[in-house]
């Protein structure tokens, strides 16, 4: 039996060092070749084999159980690799060396913790009762890397039987530094996008009767779409629609010819997502038509809702309680309306996505995810690594 806390704490400095090196070289979307190269080098040093060709710059490391992999089950650890188009302002000595790009969400730490798990597992190979895959995935922040990894076969050959992933930082208020947040059922929302163009007829601001005012019509649309949430889905089933961008007009006395709007719609359950996405266009179109305007409308499905299956999640929670103090393992009762493309893997195989609290102050205050002064607490990294390895170990014992 391995002492997972001791193993992880023994390599804590190394995990922190990996994170700092990765923090210096943030890359965005699926374009993460330097990050891939870094991971490849580290895996080479550990003598762990891997395959590339997933989601452009993703890779899958495989720590096999002896030769005959068919007889064994396979457990996967998933991590994301991408940063954001943010100009870093933390002042950290290991700040981004890539102008205008930053690891402002903590994915640098995710990779470092997963590398730590790779190291512990590969050095204790015989203790684990099956194959372990470690999925390094680019493009979490909107580029759909997770979906692409699944399409490119990251969960196949050998087939993955269960998967685990985490997010560090300050996503849930009640998951403070060093605490673990875990919840089953739908935990994160889908991330859908919509855009529309209201086409009226421009004219003089003093003579609206001679035109069709797309600004007044857009105002009606914006107000009315909120009733999709408040009147058309159950009040106890979460949903949100936000118009986040609106453009139209160029002068104080000219009614423009058209107005464009963009926004996001989020649901925790697929049922409401389907119902509202259908009704959405119909409502906007009827409003526009009733006012003699035309409408162009597009609704695009993004990441699906993230659902943690109860059985695996309860098993994970027991592992976490076994490893850490009980009070450090927080049961999450409510989902959040943010999204995650870990959802794609969890549609295919059982597993769980959990949260590791660990924000750090910069200039005396906390700055949220995606902020140019976002930072994370390096003292909690060993916990992520210990949890990855402990869960894999226990899962093989149980299955």
- Could you list the residues that contact Zn ion (CB under 5 A)? 105
Minimum distance from residue 164 beta carbon to Zn ion (Å): 16
Minimum distance from residue 221 beta carbon to Zn ion (Å): 30
Peptide bond connecting 79 to the previous residue in cis, omega within 30 degrees of 0 = no
Phi/psi of residue 225, nearest 5 degrees: -65, -20
Minimum distance from residue 83 beta carbon to Zn ion (Å): 9
Minimum distance from residue 369 beta carbon to Zn ion (Å): 5
Residues 6+ apart with CB under 8 A from 391: 164, 316, 319, 320
Residues 6+ apart with CB under 8 A from 106: 167, 168, 169, 358, 369, 374, 376
Pick between residue 143 and residue 284 the one whose CB is nearest to Zn ion: 143
Residues 253, 287: Cα–Cα separation, whole Å: 25
Residue nearest Zn ion by beta-carbon distance: 105
Minimum distance from residue 163 beta carbon to Zn ion (Å): 17
Minimum distance from residue 316 beta carbon to Zn ion (Å): 19
- State both tokens at 164: 């685990």
Minimum distance from residue 367 beta carbon to Zn ion (Å): 13
Q: How many of the other CB atoms lie within 10 Å of CB of 33?
A: 12
Pick between residue 105 and residue 221 the one whose CB is nearest to Zn ion: 105
Pick between residue 190 and residue 288 the one whose CB is nearest to Zn ion: 190
Pick between residue 105 and residue 346 the one whose CB is nearest to Zn ion: 105
Dihedral sign of CA atoms 69, 165, 340, 107 in order: negative
Q: In what helix (H) or strand (E) does residue 295 lie, and over which residues does it extend? A: strand 294-300
Give the torsion through C-alpha atoms of 339, 106, 160, 130, to 10 deg: -150
Minimum distance from residue 371 beta carbon to Zn ion (Å): 11
Pick between residue 19 and residue 197 the one whose CB is nearest to Zn ion: 19
Pick between residue 105 and residue 212 the one whose CB is nearest to Zn ion: 105
Going from the C-alpha of 104 to that of each of 83, 116, 218, 341, 376, the distances in angstroms are 6, 21, 35, 17, 9
Pick between residue 105 and residue 164 the one whose CB is nearest to Zn ion: 105
Q: Give rounded-to-5 percent helix, strand, coil for the chain.
A: 40, 25, 35
User: In whole angstroms, what separates CA 77 from the centre of its chain?
Assistant: 15
- Give me the residues paired with residue 198 across strands: 259, 295
Q: How many of the other CB atoms lie within 10 Å of CB of 254?
A: 13
Tell me if 171 sits within 8 A of 336, measured CB to CB: yes
C-alpha closest to that of 311 among 206, 184, 187: 184
Pick between residue 11 and residue 188 the one whose CB is nearest to Zn ion: 188
Minimum distance from residue 169 beta carbon to Zn ion (Å): 8
Residues 170, 16: Cα–Cα separation, whole Å: 19
Minimum distance from residue 171 beta carbon to Zn ion (Å): 8
Pick between residue 105 and residue 324 the one whose CB is nearest to Zn ion: 105
Pick between residue 86 and residue 121 the one whose CB is nearest to Zn ion: 86
């Amino acid at each position: 039996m391995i002492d997972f806390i001791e193993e992880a704490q023994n390599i804590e400095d190394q995990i922190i060092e990996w994170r700092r090196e990765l923090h210096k070289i943030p890359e965005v979307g699926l374009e993460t070749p330097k990050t891939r190269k870094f991971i490849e080098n580290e895996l080479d040093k550990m003598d762990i084999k891997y395959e590339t060709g997933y989601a452009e710059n993703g890779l899958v490391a495989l720590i096999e159980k002896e030769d005959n992999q068919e007889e064994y089950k396979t457990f996967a650890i998933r991590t994301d690799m991408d940063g954001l188009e943010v100009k870093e302002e933390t002042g950290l000595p290991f700040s981004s060396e890539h102008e205008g790009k930053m690891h402002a969400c903590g994915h640098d730490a995710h990779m470092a913790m997963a590398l730590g798990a790779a190291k512990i597992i590969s050095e204790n190979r015989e203790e684990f009762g099956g194959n372990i895959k470690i999925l390094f995935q680019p493009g979490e922040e909107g580029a759909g890397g997770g979906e692409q990894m699944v399409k490119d076969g990251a969960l196949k050959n050998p087939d993955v039987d269960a998967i685990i992933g985490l997010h560090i930082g300050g996503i849930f208020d009640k998951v403070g530094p060093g605490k673990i947040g875990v919840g089953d059922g739908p935990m994160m929302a889908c991330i859908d996008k919509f855009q529309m163009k209201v086409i009226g007829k421009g004219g003089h601001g003093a003579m609206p009767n001679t035109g069709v005012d797309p600004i007044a019509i857009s105002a009606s649309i914006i107000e009315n779409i909120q009733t999709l949430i408040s009147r058309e889905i159950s009040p106890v089933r979460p949903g949100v629609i936000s118009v986040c961008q609106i453009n139209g007009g160029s002068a104080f006395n000219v009614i423009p010819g058209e107005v464009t709007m963009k926004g996001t719609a989020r649901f925790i359950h697929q049922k409401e997502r389907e119902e509202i996405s259908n009704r959405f266009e119909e409502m906007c179109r009827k409003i526009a038509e009733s006012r003699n305007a035309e409408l162009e409308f597009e609704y695009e499905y993004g990441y699906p809702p993230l659902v943690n299956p109860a059985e695996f999640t309860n098993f994970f929670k027991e592992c976490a309680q076994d490893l850490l103090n009980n009070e450090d393992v927080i049961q999450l009762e409510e989902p959040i309306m943010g999204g995650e493309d870990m959802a794609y893997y969890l549609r295919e195989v059982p597993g769980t996505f959990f949260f590791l609290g660990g924000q750090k102050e910069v200039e005396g205050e906390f700055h949220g995810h995606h902020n140019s002064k976002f930072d994370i607490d390096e003292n909690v990294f060993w916990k992520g690594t210990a949890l990855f390895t402990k869960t894999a170990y226990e899962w093989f014992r149980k299955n």
